[in-house]
Every structure is written in C-alpha cells, then in structure tokens.
A and B are shown apart, each in its own frame.
Chain A
Amino acid sequence: MLRRKLTILAATAALALSTNMAFAQNKVLKFVSWQKDERGVGDWWASVIKAFEESHPGVKIEWTKVERGAYADTMTTLFAGGNPPDIVHLASFEFQKFADNGWLEPLDPYIKESKLDLNGWAGQDTCVWNKQTVCTMMLYFGYFLAYNEDLLKKEGLSVPKTYAEFLEAAKKTTKDLNGDGIIDQFGTGHETRGGGGQYISEMMNYTLDAGGRWTDENGKVTINTPQMIEGLSRWKTIVKNNLTPRDMSAGEVRQLFADGKIALKMDGPWLWPIIQKGKAKDQIKTAMVPFNPPVGGSSNVLAIPTDIDKANKKLVWEFIKLATSDQLQSTYATLGASPPPSPRADIKAAKAENPNFELLVQATQAAAKAKVDRIPKGLEINFNEFSKMIMEEAQRMIIQDLDPKAVAATMQQKAEALQQQ
C-alpha cells in the first residue's frame, strides 16, 4: 500500500516537475525600453538580460526598443489595453501617472522578503508614491561642465567658476568666424526646442545657481521669488543674446559641442561617450559646473505591473534584484560610464577606465546633497503640463521681451492652478 502511494507521489512529482519545466522553457518576459542600442547603458542592460537568462534556464527576455519620443504613448497604450510589458522601464518623471492609476505593484513586500538594502540608494525616495515603494531608481545624475580648452585659451579665458565668469566666457566665445553675418561658434549650448522636461532642466542651470526652486519641500509653488526672477533673467540673457544655438534638440547641441562649435556645455554623464566620438575630443576638458548646486535628478526606474500573473511578478522581481546587485551595479559604472545609484557598487574599475568618473561622482553627490531634482515636489503628477507651461512662458518672455518678474508671476499663477486640478 505504502509502495503504491509512494509510486503515485513520485509520478505526481515528476509530472509536476516536467510541467513546470515545460512551462518555464516557454516563459518569455517582455521588456520594453528606449535605452536598447544606446551606447554604454544599452550594453549594460544587455549584460543584465544575459545574466538573468543564464541564471533562469528556460526563461527568455524579449527586449524591444521603443523610441523615447513615442515611449509615453506606447506604454500608456500597452497598460490601457491590459497588456503591459512584464518588466516596466519608465522615466522618473512619468511613472507617477502609472502608479496613480494603480498599475504598478507595491514593491515593499518584495524588498522586505528578499532583504534588499536600498539605504543610501541615490534617488530612491522619488520611487515612493502614496507611501508605497513602486519602483527602483536606476540612475541619479549630476551635471558637470565640459569645456573646449582651445576656444577659451584663444580668448585668454580660464575655466569659469561663477555665473559672472561663465557669462563673460560665453559672450567672448560666441562668434561669427567668417564675417558672413551668421554665428558659427557659440559660448554655450542648450536645448531650446523639444519637450518641456529637457527645457526646464536647461533653465535650472541658472535658476538653481540664483537660489531659486520651483517648489519648496512642502510642495508649495515658489516661482515668484526674487531668486527665481534672477534665474529667469539669466536664462533670458543667454538665449536672447544667442549665446546658445537656437531651436536645436539636445542631441544636436551635444554633437555641436563634441565637434568644437561650442565652448562650454553643462550636461549629464551621457555627454562623455558623445565627446569621445566628436572631432574636438582632444580639446575638451571637464570640471565642476560654475553653478551651485549643479542640476541633477532621477532618470529612469524599473517596476512590476499589477496586471501580470504572480509567477511573472516573481521573475520580474528577480530581474530587478539582479539589476540592483552589487556586481551589476559595479559594471553599470564601467559599461554605462555613469555613477551607479548603489552606494555599495565598486567603482574602482570605472575610475581607472574613465578619467572623468571621479568628477561625475562628485557632481552627482553635490546635486544629491542639495536635494536637486528636475521633478518639483508637489507637481509630480502634473509634471508634463507643468514643464510645458514653464517652457511656453519662458519662450514668451524671450520672444516678446517680457519682464522676468511679470513672467514669474504668470508661471506662479499657472503652476498653482495646475496643483489645484
């Protein structure tokens, strides 16, 4: 009798195991990202996927690229259609809408169960939505200054350390080189065309240095302060005087800088690989930005959708755990050429490989210490509308030559109205 029971038990176990194996062999996790094919960080994602597939035989990750410009639409459509990707990759300024709809799984039970230590994890506070952790931060960055040493030397300028020095250097290096009436070389470079998010990041170089913030730590709008008015005046000076090329996307401006057409550029870690491929690579040096604090902020997050089955959720969590492991966070520094968010990552190899790396770490720490984020507290859910409004009012200030004080008052009023929606 016992032998018979044991035989049945063994047969059941074998059947269950084979079913599970067959199931696992067919398991495909969908992962949509805009960073696929990106030099550096794209390679790092590929290494995470490879490591995951090796440690989970039979589970494959179907990695699909969606362009950043179409990303919000695609993800919204996928979620709204009840068919979200298993591994959710979102920008840190857009996940809030998804979390607010209840589409992102609270991660606190997973973090607790797996004892994942996120203490000191850069930008992780941003992932807390309605008192629940809904994502893990994958990058927090700080801006550094890259400058073209030759262009500064030609004008007898040293590396600027204050806004006044920066403005002087930008004015002196903005030139029409062949006298045809067209400016061929610019003092600095900012994106003045495209999305509101990037536009306000560019503006923040000046508003932060002037001591201004969009909102205070309680989420109260603080745009009509003297500091913000000063910051807006600085932005107007730079753009109105054509010290930056006009109507260019961020990518075009970076390429112009890498090719030696711009003297000074403040940007994040992603600028470094572009410089390395540019014509002026040997003339470009780096330093801390001449502004205090530097622009910084959270960049992108990983999350689990609520709409997938329990087994998939478990697998996605394992993927997140792997991506946040000390080992892969260390390779993030070398492959991604950016400071990883993990405080435990070993960045010695990255420092040895990239002479700029120490500066990136310093810039990130300075921005984090000053609690800088391009997503203002209290306006997270309306960030897209807010950034678009700020961009339009700033453009109006420049096009119609308006007084920054009046513009700040309009921005204040509109931002408060957005908060009350």
Chain B
Amino acid sequence: MKPRFSLDLARPSRRHWLGYLLLAPAVLLIGLIIVYPLIVSVDISFQNVNIARLDQPRRPFTTANYERLFTSADFWNAAWVTLKLVIIVSVFCFLLGLGTALLVNNKFKGRSLARLLVALPWAVPEVIAVVIFAWMFDSSFGLMNWIFIKLGFIDTTVNWFSSPAAAFMVVCMTMIWKGYPFVSIMMLAGLQSIPEDFYNAARVDGANTWQRLVNITIPSLMPVLGVTLVLVMLWVFRDFSIIYVLTGGGPLKATQTLSIMTYEQAFGFFKMGYASAIGVVTLIICVIASRLMIGRAPDNI
C-alpha cells in the first residue's frame, strides 16, 4: 500500500529540507532558552513590576522604568564604570595576550611549560581566582600590603576594598589576569597560521623585527584580533562573578557595573521591571558595540 504522504529528502529540490530538519531542535532550544526570556524581559521592562510572575495578568504598559533609568545617577555611574572596565581590561588583555603569544611562539627550551603557564589562569575557575586575589589584597593580612611595606613603597597598610580607586584597580587586575590567556591562545593560533615565507621575504628586503611585527604580524592577526576583542569586551561587559565576589559593586559603587546593578535591582531590591530595563539597555549597548567592531574588522585586514 502506498503511503499517503512521504517526504523524499533525497530529491534535489528537497535536499535543503534535511538541513532545516536537523537544525530545528537547536533552533527550538535557542528560541526557548534565549529568545523567549529575552522577549519576556523586554515586556517586563515596560511594566511596573516588583517580583515578576508569568501566571499573573500583565500590568499596564509604562515607560517609567526607562524614564527612571535615564535620569538615575546610579545608572550613568554604572555605565561609566562598565566603559572604564571594558577599555582598561580589553587593552591590557590585548597587550599581555599578544606579548605572551609572541613570546611562546618562539622556539626555546621549556616552551611547552611556558605555554602551559601562560594558559593556566584561563583554566582556573573564576571564583577560585577571585578568592586568591581577595586574600592577596586583604587589607589586614594580605600579601600585597606585606610586600609593599617590605619594599618600602608604603609605610602603612592600604585598605584595598575601602578605597574606590584601589578596589577598581584590584577588580581590573583580577579580570586582566583571568582574561589575557584567552587572547594569548587566540593570538598564538593566529601567529601559527602566518606563513613563514612572509617573514623570509621581509628579512630579504631588510625589515627589522619591529617592522616585521607592524607590517606582517599585526595585519595578519587582524581577523583573529577583531573577533577576540569583541569576545573579551563582551566577557567584561557581562562578567558578574569576579566583581560580585570581590567587591559586590562597592565601595561607593566604584565597581558597580551594569550587570551588577541589574542583579542588585532584580534580586536584592526585587525590582524586576527596573532591572529588566537595565538589562535591555545593556543588551542594546553590547549589540551596537559588537556590530561596530565586527563591521569594521574587514577594513582593517
């Protein structure tokens, strides 16, 4: 008996159906896990909701959360702290990552060990890294105060987490330590894909080390660099655990980024409508920044 309906995926005209079919579970999952909560967040951000519940009737539409957000000094402070953090951490991660990648790309004795050491911070779980840094910078019994006093840099202990500038610096250092190995690994992969012929030709033309770096290495790394910088920037933007465990956003909101502010409003003060508004604005900033960086990348190659 002939089946009433059959899907012949072998037919050339329907071959692409198989692709859609195979993609469907992943697309559905992404829709469920990412797109649906995103839509709900946008919806909640336009309601005056304290603790959101999906089974409750929708509250009236309001732009009050956004009005409050854009007139809030705390929001602009958090945006400024986030921007500072993104720039400082990304730049230092790039410099350290590129430097260490160039170093371990050379042939020398113990290169494998050096590569392992460079990549090590990346493998350390974030919370453990934070605990180590918190102990190192402890105001009363920390290693850094002891070292600085012994070296004569300071004559009294520094209260690292009671000073806005010092706390911000500690957060930056922790994030750079945790983030630079990723850049290093990506750069190393990029360096190994540059043909040796380029360098040989440059040497024949009389190019020195600096000229080879500026004219061959950096331009060849640009595609990798663009993607890596976007990933690092997004990581700094959304990172929560390092700041939360280290300073909780303090002192005096000196380390309060947009993600810390979102969490605090949602789960500290139970103002989920307002927290959603911060989340939506953060998302928009991230999308614009990523688009600008990725969009510009091909021009730089």
Q: Are B50 and A396 touching (Cβ within 8 A)?
A: no
- Interchain CA distance A195-B244 in the complex, whole Å: 11
| Complex contact B252–A101 (CB within 8 A) | no
Say whether A76 contacts B270, CB under 8 Å. yes
**B252 touching A392 by the CB < 8 A rule?**
yes
Q: How far is the CA of A193 from the CA of B159 in the complex (A)?
A: 12
Chain B residues lying within 8 Å of A81, measured Cβ to Cβ, are 54
What's the Cα separation between A258 and B261 when bound, in Å?
36
Within 8 Å of chain B (Cβ to Cβ): is A385? yes
CB of B107 within 8 A of chain A? no
How many chain B residues touch A (Cβ–Cβ < 8 Å)?
A: 33
Of the candidates B51, B155, B250, B253, which one forms a contact with A181 in the assembled complex, judged by CB atoms under 8 Å apart? Answer: B155
Query: Is B140 close to A, CB under 8 A?
Result: yes
Within A306-357, the residues touching B (CB, 8 Å) are none
Whole-angstrom distance between the Cβ of B240 and the nearest chain A Cβ: 12
A194 to B246 Cα, complex, angstroms: 10
Q: Which of A372-419 contact B (CB under 8 A)?
A: 382, 384-385, 388, 392, 395-396, 398-399
B54-81 to A contact mask, C-beta < 8 Å, 1/0: 1100000000000000000000000000
Q: What is the bound-complex CA distance between A183 and B250, given in angstroms?
A: 24
A379 to B268, CA, bound (A): 15
> A195 contacts which chain B residues (CB < 8 A)?
248
Q: Which of A181, A186, A192, A388 contacts B156 (CB 8 A)?
A: A181
Which residue of the partner chain B has the closest CB to A418?
Answer: B269
CB of B215 closer than 8 Å to a CB of A: no
The reply to whether the CB of B146 lies closer than 8 angstroms to some CB of chain A is yes
- Among B7-15, B26-34, B160-168, B186-194, the stretch in contact with A: B160-168
A246-B161, A392-B253 known; A82+B149 contact, CB < 8 A: no
Instruction: Tell me the dominant secondary structure on chain B's binding face.
Output: loop
The answer to the question of A245 belonging to the interface, with a C-beta cut-off of 8 Å to chain B, is yes
Tell me whether A73 is interfacial, beta carbon within 8 Å. Answer: yes
In Å, the complex CA distance between A193 and B139 comes to 11
- How many chain A residues sit at the interface, stated as a range, is 20 to 34
Q: If A72-B267, A80-B51, A384-B268 touch, does A182 touch B149 (CB 8 Å cutoff)?
A: yes
Contact A395 B139 (CB under 8 A): no
- Determine whether B138 belongs to the interface, using a CB cutoff of 8 Å to chain A: yes
Measured between alpha carbons, how far is A244 from B270 in the docked complex, in Å? 32
Which residues of A (271-327) have their CB < 8 Å from a CB of B?
A: none
Question: B267, A73: Cβ atoms under 8 Å?
Answer: yes
- Contact indicator B162/A399 (Cβ below 8 Å): yes
User: Does A247 sit at the interface, judged by CB under 8 A?
Assistant: yes
Which chain A residue lies CB-closest to B161? A247
By CB atoms of chain A within 10 A, which of B138, B140, B156, B161 has the most? B140
- Say whether A220 faces chain B, with CB atoms less than 8 Å apart: no
Contacts of B141 in A (CB 8 A): 182, 245
Q: Which residues of A contact B269 (CB under 8 A)?
A: 382, 384-385, 388
Given A192-B162, A384-B269, A385-B269, A399 and B149 touching (CB < 8 A)?
A: no
Q: Which residues of B contact A392 (CB under 8 A)?
A: 250-253
**Which residues does chain B contribute within 8 Å of A79, judged by CB atoms?**
51, 53
Contacts of B139 in A (CB 8 A): 245-248
Question: Does A113 belong to the interface (CB within 8 Å)?
Answer: no
- The interface residues of chain A lying within 8 Å CB-to-CB of B164 are 399
Interface check B157, CB cutoff 8 A:
yes
B145 within 8 A of A: yes
Chain A residues near B86: list those with CB within 8 A.
none
Cβ < 8 Å to A, chain B residues 153-205: 155-157, 159-164
Complex Cα–Cα for A73 and B53 (A): 14
A180 at the B interface (CB under 8 A)? yes
A183 and B157 contacting across the interface, CB-CB below 8 Å:
yes
Task: Using CB atoms, name the residue of chain B closest to A249.
Answer: B134
Residues of A within 8 A of B42 (CB): none
Q: Is the CB of A194 within 8 A of B159?
A: no
A385 to B, closest residue via Cβ: B269
Contacts of A101 in B (CB 8 A): 50-51, 53
* Cβ contacts under 8 Å, A396 to chain B: 252
- Rounded to whole angstroms, the CA-CA distance of A395 and B255 in the bound complex is 14
A97 within 8 Å of B by Cβ?
yes
Tell me the bound Cα distance from A382 to B252 in angstroms: 19
Assembly CA distance A182 to B146 (angstroms) = 8
Select B162's contact among A73, A186, A382, A398, beta carbons within 8 Å.
A398
Q: A97-B50, A97-B270, A395-B162 are in contact. Are A180 and B149 (CB under 8 A)?
A: yes
Decide if A182 touches B145 in the complex (CB within 8 Å). Answer: yes
Question: What residues on A are CB-neighbors of B160 within 8 Å?
Answer: 247
How far is it, in angstroms, between the C-alpha of A182 and the C-alpha of B144 when the chains are bound? 12
Q: Which residues of A contact B53 (CB under 8 A)?
A: 79-80, 82, 101
Task: Tell me whether B157 and A399 are in contact (CB under 8 A).
Answer: no
CA distance A97 to B141 in the complex (A): 39
A388 touches B267 (CB 8 A): no
Mask: chain A, 77-99; 1 = CB below 8 Å from B; 0 = not: 00111100000000000000100
Closest B residue to A82 by beta carbon equals B55
A395 to B254, CA, bound (A): 12
Q: What residues of chain A have their CB less than 8 Å away from a CB belonging to chain B?
A: 72-73, 76, 79-82, 97, 101, 180-183, 186, 192-195, 245-248, 382, 384-385, 388, 392, 395-396, 398-399
Chain B interface residues (CB < 8 Å from chain A): 50-55, 138-141, 145-146, 149-150, 155-157, 159-164, 248, 250-253, 264, 267-270
The 4 closest A-B pairs by CB, nearest first: A247-B161, A245-B140, A73-B267, A246-B139
A–B complex contacts, Cβ < 8 Å, 14 sampled: A76-B51, A76-B270, A80-B51, A82-B54, A101-B50, A181-B156, A182-B141, A182-B145, A183-B157, A245-B141, A246-B159, A246-B162, A247-B159, A392-B250
Known: A245-B139, A247-B140, A398-B162. 8 other contacts (CB 8 A): A181-B156, A182-B140, A182-B141, A246-B159, A247-B139, A385-B269, A392-B250, A399-B162
